[in-house]
Amino acid sequence: MTQAFQTAEKPVGKAGIWGWMLFDWAAQPFFTVVTTFIFGPYFVSRLTSDPVSAQAAWSNAATAASIVIALLSPILGSIADRSGSRKPWIGFFAAIKIVSLVLLWQAAPGSPVLLPLVLFSLASIAAEFSIVFNDSMMPTLVAPKDVGRISNTAWGLGYLGGMIVLIAVVLFVAASPETGKTILGGAPLFGLDPAKGEDARITGPVSALWYLLFILPMFFFTPDRQKGEPLRQAVKEGLADLARTWREVRQRRGILHFLIARMIYQDGVNGLLILGGVFAAGMFGWSTMEIGIYGIILNIVAIFGCLVASRLDAALGSKAMIVISLVLLTIATLGIVSTGTGFTAFGLVPLSTDSTGALFGTMAEKVYILYGVLIGLAFGPVQASSRSFLARSISVEEAGRYFGIYALSGRATSFMATLSFSILTGLFASARIGMASLLIFLLAGLILLLRTPYPAGRP
């Protein structure tokens, strides 16, 4: 196998590389405080009076977004290769994401649930499309030996950015609906009323402002490819390129095997990202404050995991890092679904149900957090090393096309994970059984990845 990765002819300065890495810093708060730890659990536990149905509705919204992302990502990536510039596309989808997040403020308790579900779906679609174009810039920035380092470092920066926003929400905004006081004992900033869900609803506008501010370094300092063909011609030629790519990828067996494996295991990863927080909220009745602290713990661990992985990726390779991460995620998911209010390991290990009255006062909650630590260690590396795996196997000229297909591989069947959760949760009235379905995706993807050559390269 030969390695097809190439870099741009002109070296990229530190400001350009840091501008690119700060994209993850800018983008992550949406996934941290809106999707996983604050707004999602708020939607499930406080916006409606039926947590099981709300979990299914949240999952369905994620499913709809995933289908749109899967269908359009390869097309947009191919068009971008022909049009040359990535930044205009990122700017266009950033505007959609920012507006959608600002409007989440309208999701007050008792209000119709359709609007926040639509806005969440639009923000998710715009976020993922922006990521396609940002990721496709990576092969132009550094040498092959450094892609794993900057990919994992960027992901670590993302978790740091998400954690900073999460900490700010937990300490100064999230408050008990009963007392109206934050964990520090004061009133929430800006006079926000937790009884009206304002401490959770504000995460939409805050994430939008954070994103707007911190994508600017990428626009100012990171070099973009020169403008290529006019848009109409780029669309025509891009679609033709995509058709050729589909034929070509079947001949590049290594890349094909990797994309299929990633398609499957990423389903499980996406399911954990989308459903992990709402599952905890449903099981333990955690408030915004408790969910937020849990998220802070996971993000601190995730930053450490990414920093370690940035070095291990260079020493062991991207494939080894993905395998290690998937093993940790499988163990963690098995632990989560085997835990109830008075037991873990499917009842083999009984746990006291007595509560200290403090945060995470029961033993089951503490055990759940320990499993969450494993998730935190693996979340970043499994995704960062996946994109560096592909970056080491393609050329600059085909980056848009292949990262579009890469996005497809991450979303093509991702609705299967959330859909299986929805179906099994509704069928058995048990979110635990729904979460257990994620194990199938993680294990199947791991088995296929073990049979994939690294780097994929050309035949």
pLDDT computed for residue 1 by the predictor:
34
* pLDDT tens digits along 358-381: 677 678 778 888 888 888 888 888
Q: State the residue range of the domain holding 276.
A: 14-220+229-450
- Which position has the higher pLDDT, 232 or 388? 388
Lowest mean pLDDT among 118-132, 217-231, 342-356, 399-413: 399-413
Q: Are 254 and 453 in contact (CB under 8 A)?
A: yes
Our CA angle for 442, 445, 450, nearest 5°, is 125
pLDDT computed for residue 459 by the predictor:
43
Q: Where in 159-307 does DSSP place strands (E)? A: none
Does 8 reside within a domain?
Answer: no
Does 457 reside within a domain?
Answer: no
Query: pTM of the prediction?
Result: 0.72
Which among 403, 360, 366, 342 has a CA at the least distance from the CA of 140?
403
CA 339 to chain centre: 24
pLDDT value at 299 more than 60: yes
pLDDT value at 11 more than 70: no
pLDDT range class, residue 231, cuts 50, 70, 90: low
Our CA angle for 230, 71, 204, nearest 5°, is 90
pLDDT computed for residue 170 by the predictor:
78
Which among 10, 321, 354, 394 has a CA at the least distance from the CA of 155?
321
Does 458 reside within a domain?
Answer: no
Does 292 reside within a domain?
Answer: yes
pLDDT range class, residue 328, cuts 50, 70, 90: very high
pLDDT range class, residue 206, cuts 50, 70, 90: very high
pLDDT range class, residue 426, cuts 50, 70, 90: confident
pLDDT range class, residue 412, cuts 50, 70, 90: low
pLDDT value at 2 more than 60: no
pLDDT range class, residue 209, cuts 50, 70, 90: very high
pLDDT value at 125 more than 80: yes
Does 7 reside within a domain?
Answer: no
Spatial separation of the C-alpha atoms in residues 141 and 154, rounded to whole Å: 13
Residue 349 β-bridge partners:
344
* pLDDT tens digits along 159-199: 889 889 988 887 887 776 667 777 777 777 777 877 788 88
Q: How far is CA 448 from CA 56, 78, 266, 326, 420, in A?
A: 29, 27, 12, 12, 21
Does 29 reside within a domain?
Answer: yes
SS3 182: strand
Question: Which CATH number does the domain housing residue 384 bear?
Answer: 1.20.1250.20
Residue that is written with structure tokens 């007050």 in the block: 108
Lowest mean pLDDT among 10-19, 320-329, 366-375: 10-19
Does 210 reside within a domain?
Answer: yes
Residue that is written with structure tokens 């499980």 in the block: 268
pLDDT computed for residue 372 by the predictor:
84
Q: Are 416 and 63 in contact (CB under 8 A)?
A: no
pLDDT computed for residue 86 by the predictor:
81
SS3 2: strand
* pLDDT tens digits along 439-448: 999 999 999 9
Asked if the bond preceding 455 is cis, omega within 30° of 0, the reply is yes
The count of structural domains within the chain is 1
- Which position has the higher pLDDT, 109 or 233? 109
pLDDT value at 418 more than 90: no
pLDDT value at 102 more than 90: yes
